[in-house]
Structure 1
Amino acid sequence: MEPIVIVGGGIIGASIASHLKDDERPVVVYEQDTVGSGTSGDSVAVFVWHQSTPDPLSHRLRARAWDTYEPLIRDGTLSFEQIGTLDVAFGAEGATMRKEVAATLDSFGVSASFLAPEALAAHGLDPAAVAGALYTPEDGYLDPSEIIQHFLKEASSQGVTVETKTTVTAIRTDADGVTGVETENGFQPAHAVINAAGPWAPAVNRMAGISLPLRHNLGPVVVLQKDAPFTLPFIEFEDGLYVRGEGDRQAFAGQFGARYEDADELQPNEARSVAHDFYLDIEARIEDAIPRLSGVELVNEWVGMRTLTPDGVPFVGETAVAGFYVACGMNGLGVTLAPAVGEVLAEMVRGRSVASEIEAYLRPGRAADFREPLNEN
């Protein structure tokens, strides 16, 4: 029986493999490096109920994902630090918008409120530097490597094969759809092929003759450390800078990067370093607005990469090439959405019904609405 092939061993591919573990067909995961070595490993790994533009379908997917995470956190399989998210405004207009967002999220059932500037001192901010913040206290961070290892352990226990250091070099198709993949080790026939390749997804799509409007942005991250213990929530500023507490003596400081409109497709394998201007921006933000980080030292850094879609919603489902599925364009929400995306995609591959509104929300065919040259329905 021809297997289901998953291209990519990051958090999305691992989730899909776990949800397909009891399929009647064999399942093979191909990872070009080691599992979790791409963008999953570079993530700051926050699970967020927070949304800057609230969408009820996105909330449903988050709730579905949390239904997987919560029992694993409760039994100690996964670690989770609930630190909350502050979405910080600098001016009156931003504050008004965040008050409205808090009310909408509250209507979804999310614990959300607007905090006035004087309340933010308790969270490490200077009240004089900000105009208030949207607060979602139930947000927190996980460990991507723990999640990936858990999903792949579950999958492997049921016979899923994980091939690391194995690059997919071509996807073979005929008039009826996918026939298999070529790897460095030869041809592997396949019943279905799933593109869960993260930032390499555009290249994998092209192998199948598919073009989706995916772009990349870069996310520099620096690790800051103090001798004295401190705590810090996940703090997003409206200009794209953010900080996130890590344990009791460290914090990550990063930048969300270019919006889709200003982004482009990049080469994921290209070596990149943190730009000097970013250090200056973080230093200035700490001095102006985050007194709790005064006196930190930089101890590490890296540059991550996010894969973006025009509407901020992932592409999940079967494409115009029969048997070729995608689960890509997570827009920085891979950790938040992975269990839900894996479950939905697995149901689609098995031919089972998925809620029509979720299927329409995620469908790759909506790419035609974005007026870019596509080979999609």
Structure 2
Amino acid sequence: MSRVIVIGAGMVGLSTAWHLQERGFDVEVFDREGVAAGSSWGNAGWLAPAKTIPLSDPSLWRYGPTALLDPDAALSMPIRFDPKLWMFLARFMAQATQRAWDDTMANLTPIDKVALEAFDELELGGVDAVTHQGPFVIGFEEESQSAGFLREIEGAIRHGQEAPMERLADPQELAPMLSDKVKVAYRLEGQRFIEPGPYMEALAQAVEKRGGHIRTDADVAHVARADGPGRPAVILASGERIEADKIVIATGAWMSRLAREFGVRTLVQAGRGYSFTVATQEPAEHSVYLPYHRMACTPYQGRFRIAGTMEFRRPDEPLYPRRIEAIVNKARDIMQGVDLDDRQDEWVGSRPVTPDGMPLVGQTNAENIYVAGGHGMWGVVLGPATGRYLAQLMDTGEVHPAIAPFDPLR
């Protein structure tokens, strides 16, 4: 039985491990901290293919420069000398055209369309977790704020997705935590959400029940190519060397550190998101999206998770309380019946963003060393489908059309 080491115990890494087991591989997962310790735990848990779209779009040319001067803006970055960050931003902004958006959307659509089915496959295969059906509630303070969101939905539909949507007569009907300031709302069907923490734990348990081992103290310092007749290996910070027949690097925003020497030259920048949970006077039942304020909210273990911010910093930098405060300041204006002063689960996670908005999935220039990551904000929703198709590639050598555009050597 071939042995595979998967580096990274997030949604992408664990999904890949599960699918490799489906194909008969012996799998061990290494992570330096634990299951979902990166960007998988504290995100909004959205399984929303209709919103799994390119991050860079023409509106950035209007919003971006203004946001950098606004301490409460959802887009944030430090003003400091950081050549790598400025190079990433230059390439990211170069994609902020309608033509580039359409090209990237065309490449994302095939995997978007199978994303929910891939979650069904995990659950039918024994993962003891559930996905929750929509609808999503999309709210705006006034009609003019909805133009960008409606344009994005139209773009997803134009590229072949289904996104059933209708206007709500009463925004508070499905989302009582929205204040009277929210005067325009839509219900978006066909999407789902998960509670990320419990779901990830269930996926990890499923991998272990089928004989996999998850090692959560494994700080991988280096990945070594196969030497002559030998096998590739991971080298831990402790100096320990562990060989395997195949290795998958699924380390999210930290991918470049291990993968660059194997020809993966695309920049992977941490786009950090923040979240916290609050109690609500009335139970939260549906996901809520406030596009104008870039806030994504989801029911989470009896509370309401509020997430937001795209902060371009280094992935290991500490949580900056000012970013939490920025989300709170906006929430106070447009929410009611939520206790924003009793926040729990305050979190920051580093999402792996590529300049062209496409993941990095496939074989590197080293035999039997693969990568899976760079999904930006969409690692949770696309993780299971990514794992399915990468396992197929590793088993058969066949590149499925859904991941062909994500060639990590592009």
TM-score (ref. length: structure 2): 0.74
Asked if 2 retains the 8 angstrom alpha-carbon contact of 1:83 and 1:140, the reply is yes
Residue 179 of structure 1 is matched in structure 2 by: 232
Residue 3 of structure 2 is matched in structure 1 by: 3
Residue 306 of structure 2 is matched in structure 1 by: 253
Give, in whole Å, the separation in 2 of the partners of 1:290 and 1:145: 25
**Helix, strand or coil for the counterpart of 1:20?**
helix
Asked if 1 retains the 8 angstrom alpha-carbon contact of 2:12 and 2:250, the reply is yes
Give, in whole Å, the separation in 2 of the partners of 1:330 and 1:317: 13
In structure 2, relative to structure 1, the CA distance for the partners of 1:320 and 1:88 (3 Å cut) is farther
* Residue 332 of structure 2 corresponds to residue 286 of structure 1: yes
Residue 160 of structure 1 is matched in structure 2 by: 212
The amino acid that maps onto 1:340 is: A
Which sections of structure 2, spanning at least 5 residues, go unmatched? Answer: 55-104
* Residue 361 of structure 2 corresponds to residue 305 of structure 1: no
The amino acid that maps onto 1:165 is: D
Q: Following TM superposition, by how much is the alpha carbon of 1:100 offset from its aligned partner in structure 2, in angstroms? A: 4.2
Give, in whole Å, the separation in 1 of the partners of 2:22 and 2:286: 41
Aligned length: 354
**How does 1:1-377 map onto structure 2 within 5 Å?**
3-23=3-23, 25-51=25-51, 53=53, 55=105, 57-70=107-120, 77-89=128-140, 94-106=145-157, 108=160, 110-115=162-167, 118-122=169-173, 123-124=175-176, 125-126=178-179, 128-129=181-182, 132-133=184-185, 135-173=187-225, 179-183=232-236, 184=238, 186-206=240-260, 208=262, 210-246=264-300, 250-258=303-311, 263-264=312-313, 266-268=314-316, 270-275=317-322, 278-287=324-333, 289-293=334-338, 297-356=342-401, 358-366=402-410
In structure 2, relative to structure 1, the CA distance for the partners of 1:147 and 1:230 (3 Å cut) is closer
Map Cα deviations across residues 202-245 of structure 1 (whole Å, 9 max, x no partner): 22224656433100122121222135545453213224233333
Asked if 1 retains the 8 angstrom alpha-carbon contact of 2:262 and 2:365, the reply is no
Asked if 2 retains the 8 angstrom alpha-carbon contact of 1:87 and 1:235, the reply is yes
**Helix, strand or coil for the counterpart of 2:289?**
strand
In structure 2, relative to structure 1, the CA distance for the partners of 1:128 and 1:25 (3 Å cut) is closer
Asked if 2 retains the 8 angstrom alpha-carbon contact of 1:11 and 1:36, the reply is yes
Give, in whole Å, the separation in 1 of the partners of 2:240 and 2:249: 19
Asked if 2 retains the 8 angstrom alpha-carbon contact of 1:316 and 1:325, the reply is yes
Give, in whole Å, the separation in 2 of the partners of 1:86 and 1:158: 38
The amino acid that maps onto 1:163 is: R
**Helix, strand or coil for the counterpart of 1:182?**
strand
Asked if 1 retains the 8 angstrom alpha-carbon contact of 2:11 and 2:200, the reply is yes
Asked if 2 retains the 8 angstrom alpha-carbon contact of 1:17 and 1:151, the reply is no
Map Cα deviations across residues 279-317 of structure 1 (whole Å, 9 max, x no partner): 254234332x22354777434412222111112221111
Map Cα deviations across residues 325-350 of structure 1 (whole Å, 9 max, x no partner): 11111212222111101011111112
Give, in whole Å, the separation in 2 of the partners of 1:44 and 1:363: 28
Give, in whole Å, the separation in 1 of the partners of 2:166 and 2:153: 6
Which sections of structure 1, spanning at least 5 residues, go unmatched? Answer: 367-377
In structure 2, relative to structure 1, the CA distance for the partners of 1:78 and 1:335 (3 Å cut) is same
Give, in whole Å, the separation in 2 of the partners of 1:168 and 1:133: 47
Asked if 1 retains the 8 angstrom alpha-carbon contact of 2:42 and 2:197, the reply is no
